[in-house]
C-alpha cells in the first residue's frame, strides 16, 4: 500500500527493522515517527494521533510477540496489511582499516536488542571474552556506537544502519539461520477505509465457553470450508484468572462467503472481534 504524507509510528529509530518494514510497505514519502514502546504505537493510532502503526507480530525463529497480540485485543484498531521482512543481522563498528580477525581482538563489548543477540548466538559464542550488552533496539545501538566513536565497541544491526550512522560493516549475515523472517502487521483506525482487491487473509480474536469440545466445534467451521489456519495462539485474560482468548490468522479464497462463515462462527464463541481482512504477503527465500 503506497501512501504519501501520512504519520506512521514504529518502535525504535530510523534504521530499525520496524522502520524498514514501514518504508517497504508505505514508501518513504511519509513522516515516520519513532516511539519507545509498542503500547505507544497502539495508543497513537487508536486516538487518531497517527495514521498508521507498524508492529512486529512474530519471528520465524523467536516466535510470537505476545505483547502485540494483547494490544490488538485491547485497542480499537484494525489490521490493513502485513509484510515479511528478511532479517539480516550485521556486526557494525566505527571505521578502521584492519582485517576482521585483528579487529575482533580490539572489541570488548557488543550491543544490540536482546532478540538480535539471541538470534546471533552461534557467532557470538565464538567470542566468549566479548561482553554482550542488551540495548533498546538494533538501530539505537548503532547510533550509540557511532556517537561513542570507540574501536572497542560494536553492535548488531541492519546494513542500512551502517549507512545511516556512518559505521563499517565488520561482518555480514551473522544470524544463526539464513532464512530469518519477522512478520509485521500494519494497523489503522477502525474507520479507515481503503480500496484493496484480492483480499485473502483475516485475523480474528475470540473467547470460548468453558464446555468440552468448544474449540473443536468453533474451528470445525473453517475445516468444513477448506480454510487454512496459518496461526493460532492462546493468551491469558488478566482480569479473569486461567481464562484465555484466542488469536487466529487464516487464508481464504474468493469463492468463500466470509460474512456467512463469521455468522456461523459467532454462534460457537463468546467474544468475537475481527481484527482485519487484508492481503496475504509472501516470503522471499534465497
Please indicate, yes or no, whether residues 210 and 185 belong to a single structural domain of this protein.
Answer: no
Q: List, in sequence order, the alpha helices (H) in the chain.
A: 17-26, 38-46, 66-74, 100-106, 114-119, 121-124, 138-148, 159-164, 214-224, 258-266
pLDDT digits (tens, 9 = 90+) for 146-175: 999 999 999 999 999 999 999 999 999 999
- Per-residue cell: 218: 468453533
Q: Which helix (H) or strand (E) holds 240?
A: strand 240-251
Does 70 fall in a domain?
yes
Please indicate, yes or no, whether residues 46 and 104 belong to a single structural domain of this protein.
Answer: no
At 254, the pLDDT band (50, 70, 90 cuts) reads confident
Please indicate, yes or no, whether residues 99 and 148 belong to a single structural domain of this protein.
Answer: yes
**Structural domain for 63, as ranges:** 7-87+180-189
Share of the chain above pLDDT 90, in %: 85
- Per-residue cell: 146: 557511532
Distances (CA, A) of 19 to 42, 87, 158, 193: 16, 13, 11, 23
pTM: predicted TM-score of the whole model, two decimal places: 0.92
pLDDT of residue 198: 83
Please indicate, yes or no, whether residues 184 and 59 belong to a single structural domain of this protein.
Answer: yes
Question: Which residue among the candidates 26, 138, 181, 182 is catalytic per the annotation?
Answer: 182
CATH of the domain at 158: 3.40.190.10
CATH of the domain at 225: 3.30.70.260
d(CA 76, CA 99): 53
At 285, the pLDDT band (50, 70, 90 cuts) reads low
Would you say 229 and 248 are in contact if contact means Cβ atoms under 8 Å apart? yes
Whether residue 103 has pLDDT greater than 80:
yes
Please indicate, yes or no, whether residues 121 and 76 belong to a single structural domain of this protein.
Answer: no
Q: How many CB atoms lie within 10 A of CB 128?
A: 6
Q: Please give the mean pLDDT across all residues of the chain.
A: 94
Would you say 221 and 265 are in contact if contact means Cβ atoms under 8 Å apart? yes
184 catalytically annotated: yes
Does 237 fall in a domain?
yes
138 catalytically annotated: no
Please indicate, yes or no, whether residues 12 and 153 belong to a single structural domain of this protein.
Answer: no
Does 54 fall in a domain?
yes
Please indicate, yes or no, whether residues 19 and 67 belong to a single structural domain of this protein.
Answer: yes
Please indicate, yes or no, whether residues 104 and 228 belong to a single structural domain of this protein.
Answer: no
Burial 12-48 (b: 16+ CB within 10 A, else e): bbbbbbbbbbbbebbeeebebebbeebbbbbbbbbee
Count of domains for the chain:
3
Please indicate, yes or no, whether residues 81 and 102 belong to a single structural domain of this protein.
Answer: no
Please indicate, yes or no, whether residues 56 and 184 belong to a single structural domain of this protein.
Answer: yes
Does 241 fall in a domain?
yes
At 282, the pLDDT band (50, 70, 90 cuts) reads confident
Does 283 fall in a domain?
no
Does 127 fall in a domain?
yes
Does 1 fall in a domain?
no
Question: Which residue among the candidates 38, 42, 52, 184 is catalytic per the annotation?
Answer: 184
SS3 state at 242: strand
Amino acid at each position: 500500500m503506497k501512501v504519501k504524507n501520512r504519520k506512521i509510528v514504529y518502535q525504535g529509530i530510523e534504521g530499525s527493522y520496524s522502520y524498514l518494514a514501514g518504508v517497504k510497505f508505505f514508501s518513504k514519502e511519509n513522516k515516520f515517527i519513532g516511539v519507545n514502546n509498542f503500547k505507544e504505537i497502539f495508543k497513537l493510532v487508536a486516538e487518531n494521533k497517527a495514521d498508521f502503526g507498524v508492529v512486529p507480530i512474530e519471528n520465524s525463529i523467536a516466535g510470537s510477540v505476545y505483547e502485540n497480540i494483547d494490544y490488538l485485543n485491547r485497542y480499537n484498531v484494525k489490521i490493513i496489511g502485513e509484510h515479511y521482512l528478511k532479517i539480516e543481522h550485521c556486526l557494525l563498528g566505527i571505521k578502521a582499516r584492519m582485517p576482521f580477525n585483528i579487529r575482533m581482538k580490539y572489541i570488548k563489548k557488543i550491543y544490540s536488542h536482546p532478540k538480535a543477540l539471541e538470534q546471533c548466538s552461534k557467532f557470538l559464542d565464538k567470542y566468549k571474552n566479548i561482553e554482550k550488552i542488551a540495548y533498546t533496539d538494533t538501530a539505537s545501538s548503532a547510533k550509540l556506537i557511532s556517537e561513542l566513536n570507540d574501536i572497542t565497541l560494536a553492535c548488531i544491526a541492519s546494513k542500512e544502519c551502517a549507512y545511516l550512522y556512518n559505521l563499517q560493516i565488520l561482518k555480514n549475515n551473522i544470524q544463526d539461520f539464513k532464512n530469518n523472517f519477522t512478520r509485521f502487521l500494519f494497523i489503522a483506525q477502525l474507520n479507515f477505509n481503503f480500496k484493496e482487491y484480492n483480499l485473502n487473509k483475516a485475523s480474528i480474536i475470540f473467547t470460548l465457553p468453558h464446555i468440552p469440545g468448544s474449540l473443536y466445534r468453533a474451528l470445525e467451521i473453517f475445516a468444513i470450508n477448506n480454510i487454512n489456519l496459518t496461526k493460532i495462539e492462546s493468551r491469558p485474560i488478566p482480569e479473569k484468572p486461567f481464562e484465555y482468548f484466542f488469536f487466529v490468522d487464516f487464508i481464504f479464497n474468493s469463492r468463500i462467503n466470509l460474512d456467512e462463515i463469521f455468522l456461523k462462527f459467532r454462534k460457537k464463541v463468546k467474544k468475537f472481534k475481527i481484527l482485519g481482512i487484508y492481503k496475504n504477503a509472501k516470503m522471499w527465500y534465497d
